[in-house]
Amino acid sequence: MQNYPHPIIAREGWPFLGGTLAAALLVHLFAGWAWALPLWLIALFVLQFFRDPAREVPGDAKSVLSPADGRIVVIEPAHDPWLNRETLKISVFMNVFNVHSNRSPVDGEVVQRWYHPGKFINADLDKASTENERCALHLRTADGQNVTCVQVAGLIARRILCYVDAGDRLVRGQRYGFIRFGSRVDLYLPKDVRVKVGVGQKVSATSTILAELP
């Protein structure tokens, strides 16, 4: 089980949840439940969006875990623009009903972090990887394997949060960031990884093994 503090609701959500609950309660008290119902529904949506469940960590040091909840939209050979190398790319698309806490896919050191401003087109489209706002981490495992993990903003997402930088160490499944309101995460892996998932498959952050490193 994860050893970082787990409040069940992501800390990023408390201002949104507090604001919507306060508004719903005030309208309920002064205008009645019928007027407050839309606000209670909004509060319920905010509550489910910012949930952040603890997860069991499967596999071993060779296992590449899913960095996000969602659906696999890409598994293909691709050029890694961050490390200028040929790789296998796996992309996970998150809709607004998925958990949006991002977890480390591997045990390793953060070698470098990049931030690139950009557009907010639908993250389900492959061109989002090159045109949208994004934040990338270069992770290096203990045996020298390089993994690039990229948070990509989406059509509704307007804020990428990343809490680590070069020199930090991450373990598989460790929470390192959050993307608000719909997005995707791209992984650029060594070409000779053994893929464990298929396009269209639903995956869970930490719980799903995407691939095995050589």
**Which are the catalytic amino acids?**
183
CB 175 within 8 A of CB 65: no
- Measured CA to CA, the distance from residue 174 to residue 205 in angstroms comes to 10
Tokens of 165: 């930088």
Nearest to 89 by CA among 51, 129, 121: 129
Query: Which H, E and C letters describe 97-151, residue by residue?
Result: CCCCEEECCCCEEEEEEEEECCECCCCCCCCHHHHECEEEEEEECCCCCEEEEEE
